[in-house]
Structure formats: C-alpha cells, structure tokens
Chain A
Amino acid sequence: MSSEDYELVVGLEVHAELSTKTKIFCSCESSYGEEPNTNICPVCTGMPGALPVLNEKVVEYAVKAGLATNCTISKDSKNDRKNYFYPDTPRAYQISQFDKPLCEHGYIEIEDDNGNPKKIRILRIHIEDDAGKLNHNEFTGGSLVDLNRAGVPLIEIVSEPDIRSSKEADRYLKKLKSILQYIDVSDCKMQEGSLRADVNVSVHKRKEPFGTRCEMKNMNSFKSIQRAIDYEKDRQIYEVEHGNTITQESLRWDDLDGRTYQMRDKEDAQDYRYFPEPDLVAIRLSDEYIEKIKEELPEMPESRKERYMKELGLSEKDANFLTSSKAYSDMFEKAGEICKNYKAVCNWLNSDIARILNEKELEPEQIPFSAEHLAGLVTLIDKGTISSSIGKKVLDELFENPRNPEKIIEEKGWIQISDESAIKEVVLKVLESNPQSIIDFKAGKDRALGFLVGQAMKETKGKANPKMLNEMFLEELKK
C-alpha cells in the first residue's frame, strides 16, 4: 500500500491567553515580560487559605470567542478542579471546566486543499488558568519557579477531528488566530506563548475506523505544527505498514531534529480527579447578557473582505491577504482613510512590509510604526516629494526608528529634486561623461536610457524626480 491509501486525521486543542487586564482569579496584572514573581499575590501563588474570585471579563471574552466561532453558549456552567502535582502549578490543581464548558458545538469555516469551503467543527471552548513557568538555572543547576503567568486567563478551544491535512491545520489555526484578534480577546502573540496548541494526529486506511492518536503538546509555531503533522503522518503510516501498532502517547516535537520523540512520563496514564470547584459558585448567564455581547461583536474578517472587494475594488487575493491578520486590516483601514490611497497602502503592506516582517521573523502585530506613519509615507510619494525608491528607504527607517516620515526625509535630506534647472544640470553632466550611451541610444538601444537615468539617480543619491529625469534625457537625446 502507498501513503495515498491512508487518510490523516488531526484535531487541535488551542490555548489562547486572554488579554484581560488582570488575572482570572485575582487582581494581579496579567502582563507579560515582568521581573519574575512580581505580579503575584496570595491567590495566584496558592497560599494557604487564599480563595479564587472569577474575573467577569474572562467570562465575557470567552463568550465572545464562542459567539465568533458559532458556538452555543451555555447558560449554566461551572468551574472544576483538575488535580496534579507540578512545581509550576501552585495549588496543585488547575481551575478549569470539565463537563459544563461555557461554549459548545461551534465551527470555523476554512478552505480545503482544493479551495472548497469546509467547516471545522468546534467541540467546546472552556476557561481555565495558566500555570507558572519553570526557568532552568544554569548556574546552580536547579529550576526556579516564576509565577507571574500563574493565573493568566486562558481559553481552550477544542476542535473535532475534522482536519485532514497539515495545510488545513495551518489554515484553521490562522483563521482562529485572526478571529480571536478581530474580537480583541487575545493578542495571540505566539512568540510570547499566548497562543499554543496541542496537536492530535492519527492515520487510518480510508473507509476504516480512525487510528490511535498521538498528541504533541504545547506547540507555538504554525510552521512547526505543519512540519510535525507531516512528520507524524509519515511515521505513523510507516509503523502501520510495517505491522506495528500505534500507542496512544504524548510526543515532543523537536524542531531542530525535525522529528518527534516520546515523552518520558506518560501523561495519559494520569488521573486528574476532576471535581466541581467548591470555592466558586456556578456561572449563570442570562439571555440578555449573551445577546448584548452578540450585538457588540466587531466586524468579522469575512465581512471586511467583502467590503474591501466591493467598496474599495481590491482583488480577492489582496482582500484575503489584508484580512488574514487584524493588524494588517486595521492598519490598512486607518492609513487608507488618512491618505485616501487604499491601493497604495495595500501594496506597501502586501509587498515590502510583509517581506521585511518575514525577514525579521516578526508577526504583523509587531509592526513598530503606526498607520499615520504609513499614510504619511504614501502621501509623500503621491505628492512627488519623494520617489518610491526613497520611499523604500523611508520604510526601512520606519522599522528601525519609527517617526514621522516627513521628519525622516528632512533629517536625511531625501527630499526629491523637482527643480527643472537642477535636473537639467545633472542630465547634462551625466550625458557628458557617458558618450557611449548616447551612441547606443541613437543606435536604438532603449536600455541606454535606463542606464543614464540610473547614473543620474546615483549622482543625486536617488533624490531626483525620476519622471522629470526621464523626460529631460529624452529631450536632450533627441536634440
């Protein structure tokens, strides 16, 4: 049999940190990157006698996420304890939700590998608290516990096993990320761990029951997830083809080795002894409450995409690109509104900005400059104050040290030369020192013109108005 005879089945459990100001059960700030153990209190460090108080914003954000992913919101929900010992878990239990999650039975629509719409069903979304972090201390050899993250609110979004390829998984994750960003409940900064996924993979022969799944825990890069799924698919098919059985287990993906490894402790054997959290009262939501959140939901990517195509005349490809990230889309709308040149803003985002982000391995949310800055750049080009090649240099500056583009070109002396006599002077100088090009041009080699313009640009350090240069050269050459 070949791998064609097998079907891949993937289910994803995505953990997203909610961007509430405070933690889920106490009033400590849930900010990232502080000095270890500074955002802590008796509650989130699990001091004896301390009690949790559920942050209402967490419920609101989770309901938003549920509504944005077409879930049914449970009006009668509760918290449960999940018991296990680990140094990053200060109470020795996580407060999660077991049998009554806040949201159930939703879906997200993506494209399958043939470009057809496909619904990936969502089993449930529940709220829970994050654990702290263990930092290995290289000097003493021990581990140090940082509890700043302990109690940061999470939602866990559990998909049904509806995903059939690593690319579908990637599209699902990107779509989910963009939804969570659009409704502004999570910043989804993967490099900070605010979006992480447990990836369940199995293979089976078509028309046969699902195979045994393996789980890769805590993955926080879309690229790694795709690679890991592809690797696991091949590995599991190989095992099955060679008469081996797949055992249900937790695996660890090693990005450098490009393969998975068995985890030493078999977490699947663990009994979490879930039971209702007696320190918290049941969560009861009214129809009015749910309805109000529904009404306040912001515009979703689909609707923005439609609008970009219909009202702004963008191509589907451009509209898709822009709405793939809320950061792009927001910047596009804001900058476009200021400079009134949506197409140019779209092009900058689509080409140079996306390229630079890629080179720097940054996410769109990490664009260091504002929509005002980008609009300013577009306006400077539109007014002819700078050329588009200077524009690229301005963009580089914006990434390095974001400030008003007008100020940048002033400081750098990049203002375009549009003065006719100044341009003429340069043109004559270039012609004088390049007689061969004049001969070439007259012999019909159009390329010579380009060369001459290039030389003139070099002479003016790129500041000459390229259109005027072109015209002036043609005029002189035709004399």
Chain B
Amino acid sequence: MNITELTVHELQEKLKNKELTSYEITKAYIDRINEKENEVGAFVTVTEDLALEQAKKIDEENNAEKAYAENNSEQAKKEEDNNLAGIPIGIKDNLCTKGIRTTCSSKMLENFIAPYNATVVENVLKEKMPVLGKLNMDEFAMGSSTENSSIKITHNPWNLSKVPGGSSGGSAAAVASNMVPWALGSDTGGSIRQPASLCGVVGLKPTYGLVSRYGLVAFASSLDQVGPITKDVRDSALLLNVIAGHDEKDTTSCNVPKVDYTKALKNDVKGLKIGVPREFFGDGIDKEVKEKLQEAIEIYKELGAIVEETSLNVAEYALATYYIIACAEASSNLGRFDGIRYGYRAKDYSNLKELFVNSRTEGFGDEVKRRIILGTYVLSSGYYDAYYKKAQKARTFVKKQFDDQFKKYDVLLTPVSPTTAFNIGEKKDNPLEMYLADICTVSINVASVPAISLPCGVDSRGMPIGMQLIGDRFKEETILNAAYTFEQKIKFRENYKPEFKKN
C-alpha cells in the first residue's frame, strides 16, 4: 500500500480499521516531502517535528478513546464516521498560524510569526489534524503562476518546466505530488481553481461568506474566500465540512445552517439543469480545452443531465471590474505593511517618510507594487467615480446576470483556465497576458457565487485540463454532487498521474 496515494476518505477508513496510525500516515507524507520537495518546491515551511508530534499525540488519544468506545458504542461510533483526527494537512502561507511563520511568500513577511491562528486553522486543529507545513503562493496571493513568490519557484508535478498556476500553486502542486493529502488555499479571482486545474486536482471556491476570513491575510476583502484543494470531490466535501460556518470574528461570514456536504454526493445528475455559457468558449480558449469540455458535456448528457447552451455576457466587464475592485482593496489592505510594527523594515532611512517608502519599496515585489499603484489610482479623488464607483455598479450588474442564469439552471459549466499549464517564465514579464489567465474565474468572485474546478482529461502533451462548475449562492451541495457524479464516471485519478517530467 502506498499511503500517500490514498485520498483522505480512504485514509479515514484505514485509520478507523486500525490498519494505519496517524503517525504512519504523517511519517509517510514527511518522507514523500523529503523525496519530492526538491523537485516541486511547494513548501515555504515544512513543520516536520510539529506534525509528527501531533500525530503521536493523536494516536495515543485515539487508543484511549477507542478502548472507551468499545464499551459505549452507538454515539461514539457515529462520531467516528466523520472523524478526521490524525489526517495531516498543508496550509497556504497566507493563513495565520500561531508559532509557525506566515510569509505570504513575501520578503515583507519573511520572518513574520502571527500571534494567533486563523479561524480555519483553529478548525483544522480542533479536528486534530497534524500540520505538515505552509505552502508556497504568489506574493500576497497576487498572480496566476506562483512565480511571484519571493521564496521559491514551484514546479508543476506533471511537467516540472511548467507553472503550477496560482496563487495557491504550492497547495495544488503539493496535493498533486502527494506531498500532502489535502490543503487549504484561498481564492480571490481563481487562486484555488486555476492551480487545481493546472495540477489536475480538485479545488473549491465557496460562496463568499460561507468560510471565515479571519486570519486570512487580506488581498481583496470583498472577494477573498478560503477553500479546499483535494485529490477528489469527496475530500473536498469533507474539508468544506471542517471550515464552513459562521464566525463571530468575521461579520461578513454568513449564518447559514451547518450541513454535511458529503451527504450531497449522490452520484446522480438526472434532471440536473446545466447551462453552458457560450461567452466562456471564445477565441482566447485553447482548442484542446474546448474539446475536452465538449466531451464532458456529452458525458453529463449521458448521465441524464439537461445541458443547454446559454449566454452569460459578463466576461468583458468582469475582468476589468475585478481588477479595479481587487486592486483598490489591496492598496488599502496592504497599507499596514509599513515597517513599523512587524515585517520588513529598510535598513537605511533618515526620516519617517523614508522608513515607510524604503521598507515598502524593498519589501514588496513588482506585481504587488503594480496592484497597489493601480488601486491607489482608482481610489484617488477625481478618479473614484470613474473607476471604483463604476466597478461597483458593474459588480451589481454581473451579480444580476448570474442570478438570472440560476433562475434557469442549477449549474453553469465553463473552462477554468484558457490553456493548460504554461512554461515557467513564459508570461512573467507580460502582466496583461497573465491577467487573462483569470478570464474564466474572476467573474465568480465578483458575483460571490461558489465554483468547483475538477479535472476532465489531459491535453496532447499530457497536461491536465480542468472544468469549472458554478453554483448559485450557498448551493455548494449542488456543484459538489455534479462534480462527484462526473468524477465517478471518468475516474481521472485512476487513469492519469503526474509523472514529474523534466520538459
């Protein structure tokens, strides 16, 4: 048995049957990290000792509890079914972890150790999951290739000369290369779904407000969401169970009833109404991507879903709207990195202004600076109405377009990324081209709706192609079931595996 190739629900089963201990699982992943990290570069920090220590402790507790449970059957057994204790996890490096540094892959926070845990991290720790480490990303989650990390370059496990996507590139690459069983990512304009697509794994961006943002280092407050990156759809539902729910520390998190998302996985899409917006299949989308999605559409039809072409004319507004709102909020959110209380402080300065300017000039990378400048510009008096205010109106319009679609359809089906993974360095010096990598994903964040990305095949070079299923607000169950049913049919993981090709 190769432990690291198992999904979380498979590991869960083995833990339950005492075939494996948490220590064995965690150790297997640590060994895998030691074997593959040099090639892939997914981690900013590996917390080997901490993870093994946690795992040991959990095994001891489990033994004690099981002895007890044998005498007190029913209730204990029920709790055991969804027990995730002992399953390790990787965490994107923009989620605050007490005692473990949180760098956001930026020189600015290279040595920053948060004094508190993000709410989602608290949730994970409450479930007693050993933390394997913190995962690489584009600096402050700004980018689509993880090349904007000041820490290291992450390589795509399917082909090491290609990018893993971004910004949660470390999380997706770590899951794809079996260095973690699953991971937490964050998605502001596609940062979970696009790397999941490029790395052939499953990524879910929940409805805005379903998951607490407390402790997620903010990029764009009105768009950011934390979500799972997993090997398959069932794992996605399992991890969503852990992180979803109202948090009184985040007033933008919604008070919706807790549900068990795994219960939604019915392996049945008969009668499901799927809309395919033709605007998402335009000129910029790679031919092979279109072909694979067409195959997927046929599979859904076979499975009994009702698939129709529809028109969702948001792409042309959504990208501009997204970049205005995201940059505006980022320019304000990143003001706190001023060299005063924490983070990077320039060595040379002769007055307060120089302390601010030099620290930020030296501490931030180019893409972060570019977005701060854009955001500062669109909020400036005299430009506010023309850009920010107009973008807010466009956002309302985009939301309405989606609302209209969900009056007709349960799910919208689109590509995730216009192309499969591109070469490292290919788009690095062309920010506009890089921004187009988000063309299929940003409108989902602008509309605050949930979407899942799952693999639907590979291209002629063997690189994974992703499909995006979009749902109405708080209808995660619908898209999870649609994704699960498709996954059961094509069995992507059984047919394709990353091969760590060198070119």
| Per-residue contact bits, chain B 90-114, to A (CB 8 Å; 1 contact, 0 not) | 0000111000001010000100101
Q: Which of A53, A81, A145, A275 contacts B251 (CB 8 A)?
A: A53
C-alpha spacing A48/B93, complex, angstroms: 12
What are 30 A-B residue pairs whose CB atoms fall within 8 Å in the complex?
A: A42-B114, A42-B116, A45-B341, A47-B114, A47-B116, A48-B96, A48-B104, A48-B114, A49-B118, A49-B213, A49-B214, A51-B213, A54-B251, A83-B379, A85-B338, A85-B356, A90-B336, A90-B340, A90-B341, A92-B338, A93-B335, A273-B332, A273-B380, A273-B384, A275-B328, A275-B332, A275-B379, A278-B221, A278-B252, A279-B218
A residues contacting B by CB (< 8 A) are 42, 45-54, 81, 83, 85, 87, 90-93, 145, 271, 273-275, 278-281
C-alpha spacing A219/B247, complex, angstroms: 40
Does residue B344 face the partner (Cβ distance < 8 Å to A)?
Answer: no
**Contact across chains for A280 and B251 when beta carbons are under 8 A apart:** yes
Does residue B222 face the partner (Cβ distance < 8 Å to A)?
Answer: yes
Does residue B393 face the partner (Cβ distance < 8 Å to A)?
Answer: no
| Per-residue contact bits, chain B 207-218, to A (CB 8 Å; 1 contact, 0 not) | 000000111111
Interface of chain A, main secondary structure: loop
CB neighbours of B381 from chain A (8 A): 271, 273
CB neighbours of A47 from chain B (8 A): 96, 114-116, 342
Does residue B53 face the partner (Cβ distance < 8 Å to A)?
Answer: no
Q: Looking at A273, A274, A280, which has the most chain B CB atoms within 10 Å of its CB?
A: A273
Measured CB to CB, the closest approach of chain B to A277, in angstroms, equals 8
**Contact across chains for A42 and B356 when beta carbons are under 8 A apart:** no
The answer to whether residues A46 and B252 also contact, given A273-B379, A275-B388 and a CB cut-off of 8 A, is no
Does residue B77 face the partner (Cβ distance < 8 Å to A)?
Answer: no
Closest 8 CB pairs of A and B: A92-B335, A278-B221, A273-B379, A278-B222, A48-B217, A49-B215, A46-B336, A49-B96
- Write the chain A residue with the least CB distance to B220: A278
CB neighbours of B118 from chain A (8 A): 49
CB neighbours of A46 from chain B (8 A): 336, 341
Does residue B250 face the partner (Cβ distance < 8 Å to A)?
Answer: yes
**Contact across chains for A273 and B248 when beta carbons are under 8 A apart:** no
CB neighbours of B217 from chain A (8 A): 48-49
**Contact across chains for B380 and A271 when beta carbons are under 8 A apart:** yes
**Contact across chains for A145 and B102 when beta carbons are under 8 A apart:** no
B residues contacting A by CB (< 8 A) are 94-96, 102, 104, 109, 112, 114-116, 118, 213-218, 220-222, 248-252, 328-329, 331-332, 335-338, 340-342, 352, 356, 376, 379-381, 384, 388
- Write the chain A residue with the least CB distance to B96: A49
**Contact across chains for A49 and B332 when beta carbons are under 8 A apart:** no
CB neighbours of A81 from chain B (8 A): 332
**Contact across chains for B376 and A273 when beta carbons are under 8 A apart:** yes
Q: List 5 extra interface pairs beyond A53-B251, A281-B252, CB under 8 A.
A: A48-B217, A49-B102, A51-B250, A93-B335, A273-B381
The answer to whether residues A48 and B112 also contact, given A83-B332, A85-B356, A279-B252 and a CB cut-off of 8 A, is yes
**Contact across chains for B341 and A279 when beta carbons are under 8 A apart:** no
**Contact across chains for A53 and B248 when beta carbons are under 8 A apart:** yes
CB neighbours of B331 from chain A (8 A): 83, 273
CB neighbours of B329 from chain A (8 A): 278
**Contact across chains for B335 and A51 when beta carbons are under 8 A apart:** no
**Contact across chains for B335 and A49 when beta carbons are under 8 A apart:** no
CB neighbours of A51 from chain B (8 A): 213-214, 249-252
**Contact across chains for A48 and B102 when beta carbons are under 8 A apart:** yes
CB neighbours of B376 from chain A (8 A): 273
C-alpha spacing A59/B434, complex, angstroms: 44
Q: Which of B218, B338, B380, B384 contacts A49 (CB 8 A)?
A: B218
- Write the chain A residue with the least CB distance to B118: A49
C-alpha spacing A88/B380, complex, angstroms: 23
- Write the chain A residue with the least CB distance to B214: A51
CB neighbours of B220 from chain A (8 A): 278
Measured CB to CB, the closest approach of chain A to B210, in angstroms, equals 15
**Contact across chains for A93 and B332 when beta carbons are under 8 A apart:** yes
**Contact across chains for B341 and A281 when beta carbons are under 8 A apart:** no
CB neighbours of B342 from chain A (8 A): 47-48
C-alpha spacing A90/B114, complex, angstroms: 15
The answer to whether residues A83 and B328 also contact, given A279-B251, A279-B252 and a CB cut-off of 8 A, is no
Q: Looking at A49, A53, A91, which has the most chain B CB atoms within 10 Å of its CB?
A: A49
Q: Looking at B94, B214, B248, B336, which has the most chain A CB atoms within 10 Å of its CB?
A: B336
Measured CB to CB, the closest approach of chain B to A479, in angstroms, equals 87
C-alpha spacing A49/B380, complex, angstroms: 25
CB neighbours of B251 from chain A (8 A): 51-54, 279-281
C-alpha spacing A145/B251, complex, angstroms: 29
CB neighbours of A87 from chain B (8 A): 338, 340, 352
Q: Looking at B94, B95, B252, which has the most chain A CB atoms within 10 Å of its CB?
A: B252
Measured CB to CB, the closest approach of chain B to A126, in angstroms, equals 19
**Contact across chains for B340 and A145 when beta carbons are under 8 A apart:** yes
**Contact across chains for A42 and B216 when beta carbons are under 8 A apart:** no
CB neighbours of B248 from chain A (8 A): 53
- Write the chain A residue with the least CB distance to B109: A48
**Contact across chains for A53 and B249 when beta carbons are under 8 A apart:** yes
**Contact across chains for B214 and A50 when beta carbons are under 8 A apart:** yes
- Write the chain B residue with the least CB distance to A84: B335
Measured CB to CB, the closest approach of chain A to B348, in angstroms, equals 16
C-alpha spacing A91/B341, complex, angstroms: 10
CB neighbours of A275 from chain B (8 A): 328, 332, 379, 384, 388
Q: Which of B112, B328, B336 contacts A91 (CB 8 A)?
A: B336
Measured CB to CB, the closest approach of chain B to A387, in angstroms, equals 62
C-alpha spacing A54/B328, complex, angstroms: 22
Q: Looking at A47, A51, A281, which has the most chain B CB atoms within 10 Å of its CB?
A: A51
C-alpha spacing A395/B185, complex, angstroms: 69
Measured CB to CB, the closest approach of chain A to B174, in angstroms, equals 21
C-alpha spacing A51/B329, complex, angstroms: 14
CB neighbours of A83 from chain B (8 A): 331-332, 335, 379
CB neighbours of B250 from chain A (8 A): 51, 53
CB neighbours of B336 from chain A (8 A): 46, 48, 90-92
C-alpha spacing A177/B114, complex, angstroms: 41
C-alpha spacing A145/B340, complex, angstroms: 9
C-alpha spacing A271/B381, complex, angstroms: 7
Measured CB to CB, the closest approach of chain B to A149, in angstroms, equals 15
CB neighbours of B252 from chain A (8 A): 51, 278-281
Measured CB to CB, the closest approach of chain B to A279, in angstroms, equals 5
